[in-house]
Amino acid sequence: MRIHNTLSGRKEKLQTLNENEVRIYVCGPTTYNLIHLGNARPLVVFDTLRRYLSYRGYRVIYVQNFTDVDDKIIARANEEGIDALQLSQHYIDEYFVDADRLGIMQADIHPRVSEHMNDIIDAVGKLIERGYAYEIDGDVYFRVRAFDGYGKLSKRSLDDMRAGARIAVDERKQDPLDFALWKKARASEPSWDSPWGAGRPGWHIECSVMSTKYLGETFDIHGGGADLIFPHHENEIAQAEAMTGKPFVNYWMHNGFITINQEKMSKSLGNFFVLRDILDKYPADVVRYYLIATHYRSPLDFDDGKLEEARRALARLKNSLQLAEEFIQGDEAEAAELDEQASAFLTEISSLEASFIEAMDDDLNTAMAIGHLFEMAHTLNSFLASAPRSEAGNRVAVFRALQTFRALGDVLGIFMKVDDEEKKAVEGLLDILLQLRSRARQQKNFALADEIRDILSEHEVRVEDGPEGSRARYEKEPDASELVELLLAIRGRFKAEKQYDQADWVRDRLMDQNVIIEDTREGVRWKFADA
């Protein structure tokens, strides 16, 4: 695999320190807020990297930190009059809610600043000892000019930076670019005891300390958003390499930004979208698809239309999945001879699988990989449309193709499945509606058939009729209660028209789905039996 390394500015072949093992550190969120879409991009990008490396046979050791001691957290906690660490804990919990919904695998270790104070204090002490840092009245600063390679990641010289510096210079610092390793405690701030008095760590030191603690003094990949290149990652390198005298990270990966109407989305500009709100409107796999349909280093513009387009595009892939599943219907285990068409079909699938891998190997080119997935869907659909499913060989071929197709979609995390109780109830209710509609169609009662389809369409459920029956498809699960109401309304009409056998049929089917119906003088009452 080749990876674009920010350090060299080039794509380089991935050569891990240990064979078949990759050690990755990704900068996680500062926990003072619900995460927004901009935070979600690196989560999904590096989760995809992780899945892909696993798929390619690597053992992946993945560490993602929480910065739970920070100016913004303290400010927010003071505003709300609560303890800073308590606020952090709250948003860490909320982080996991959102990340789980997005299908982000948990890291092997999620270290927090607050739990590594001794390690951080030791590190700061060591840096002072070695002349890379100095103390002034309870503050400790890193001495930038003592570290030779300063600026190698962000490709800037110290002189350039001094010239363009917009920061208010702290006169006590030896160099304007020296940055804080330890900050002296002020009133109403959480603090920890140290050899320099009560205080707390500066922003960058935690990542140097925690990454090397869990992954070693040198590790393979460090990732994060492009805005972290300077100063955060530049400073991480300076601290870590000053401390160990060894190269800190071999491959630096940075994702591009999400913009809103061509303007950077950020908490400070106030134009950010909270991930949770987006996940309430669109399924997680659609959001993932949107985030990786563009190469990770490119900027990505966001608006509602983008998710809608992603939804439609992904629906095409998932439709192929469903068509293929229906085609094999559990007969997959059979062994059978493949005819020429089926063999050619599988050859094509293998070749597209190879193309997918080739794309992913080229700096995680998910955009191109997805392109190959669409070609695979096309190949699959064409075969399904032309090969009779009565041939066992065809079913075997589709089964194998489906396995490949699904595996690749799972690498990207775009074939997420939700099957819980709610879904079962919905499936059952939809099935009643479909049966009702089939009966109407058989009786040439197209008015009722179309009405059912139209009403379902209002609930964003599409009805499709095929030679072997109808099916309901949806990306967003409809509300079970509304479906029950719908069925009861139809039943009410049957009753009014004195079609009691039809009305009773609906009631019986609803009972099968654990819906209890009571006809009262005031009207119909119902409830789920297990609710």
Partner RNA sequence: GGGCGGGUGGCGAAGUGGCUAACGCUGUGGUCUGCAAAAUCACCAUUCACCGGUUCAAAUCCGGUCCCGCCCUCCA
For the segment 197-226, give every residue that binds RNA (CB under 7 A): 203, 224-226
Minimum distance, C-beta of residue 59 to RNA, in the bound complex (Å): 25
Check if the beta carbon of residue 284 is closer than 8 Å to that of residue 101. Answer: yes
Minimum distance, C-beta of residue 388 to RNA, in the bound complex (Å): 14
Among the residue ranges 186-194, 275-283, 365-373, 426-434, the one whose residues contact RNA (CB under 7 A): 365-373
Question: Between 55 and 374, whose beta carbon lies closer to RNA?
Answer: 374
Long-range contacts of 306-313 (CB under 8 A, 24+ apart): 307/278, 307/281, 307/282, 310/282, 310/286, 311/282, 311/283, 311/286, 311/475, 313/289
Question: Between 138 and 371, whose beta carbon lies closer to RNA?
Answer: 371
| 54-83 residues near RNA, rule: CB under 7 A | 71-72
SS (HEC) of 463-511? EEEECCEEEEECCCCCCHHHHHHHHHHHHHHHHHCCCHHHHHHHHHHHH
Which of 118, 174, 350, 382 is in the footprint of RNA by CB under 7 A? 382
Question: Between 162 and 527, whose beta carbon lies closer to RNA?
Answer: 162
| 217-276 residues near RNA, rule: CB under 7 A | 224-232, 255, 257-259, 262-268
Minimum distance, C-beta of residue 374 to RNA, in the bound complex (Å): 3
Report which of 480, 519, 514, 516 is spatially closest to residue 496, judged by C-alpha positions. Answer: 519
Q: Does 341 bind RNA (CB under 7 A)?
A: no
Question: Between 191 and 259, whose beta carbon lies closer to RNA?
Answer: 259
Q: How many secondary structure helices (H) and strands (E) does the chain include?
A: 17, 17
Minimum distance, C-beta of residue 525 to RNA, in the bound complex (Å): 32
The pair phi, psi for residue 83, each rounded to 5°, is -70, 140
Which of 92, 105, 321, 323 is in the footprint of RNA by CB under 7 A? 323
Minimum distance, C-beta of residue 3 to RNA, in the bound complex (Å): 13
Question: Between 328 and 425, whose beta carbon lies closer to RNA?
Answer: 328
Question: Between 209 and 228, whose beta carbon lies closer to RNA?
Answer: 228
Question: Between 374 and 528, whose beta carbon lies closer to RNA?
Answer: 374
DSSP string, 6-64: TTTTEEEE---SBTTEEEEEE---BSSS--BHHHHHHHHHHHHHHHHHHHTT-EEEEEE
Q: Is 394 exposed, middle or buried (0-12, 13-18, 19+ CB in 10 A)?
A: buried
Question: Between 190 and 231, whose beta carbon lies closer to RNA?
Answer: 231
| 139-158 residues near RNA, rule: CB under 7 A | 154-156
Q: Does 288 bind RNA (CB under 7 A)?
A: no
Q: Does 455 bind RNA (CB under 7 A)?
A: no
Q: Does 92 bind RNA (CB under 7 A)?
A: no
Sign of the torsion angle spanned by Cα atoms 428, 430, 431, 436: positive
Task: State the Cα–Cα distance between residues 238 and 143, nearest whole angstrom.
Answer: 10
CA 520 to chain CA centroid, nearest Å: 49
Strands 300-302 and 258-260: parallel
- Please list, in sequence order, all residues whose beta carbon lies within 8 angstroms of the beta carbon of residue 72, skipping any fewer than 6 positions away: 30, 32
Question: Between 24 and 515, whose beta carbon lies closer to RNA?
Answer: 24
Q: Does 13 bind RNA (CB under 7 A)?
A: no
Work out the end-to-end distance of the chain between its first and last CA atoms, rounded to an integer number of angstroms: 52
Minimum distance, C-beta of residue 185 to RNA, in the bound complex (Å): 18
Q: Does 312 bind RNA (CB under 7 A)?
A: yes
Q: Does 111 bind RNA (CB under 7 A)?
A: no
Which of 5, 16, 30, 48 is in the footprint of RNA by CB under 7 A? 30
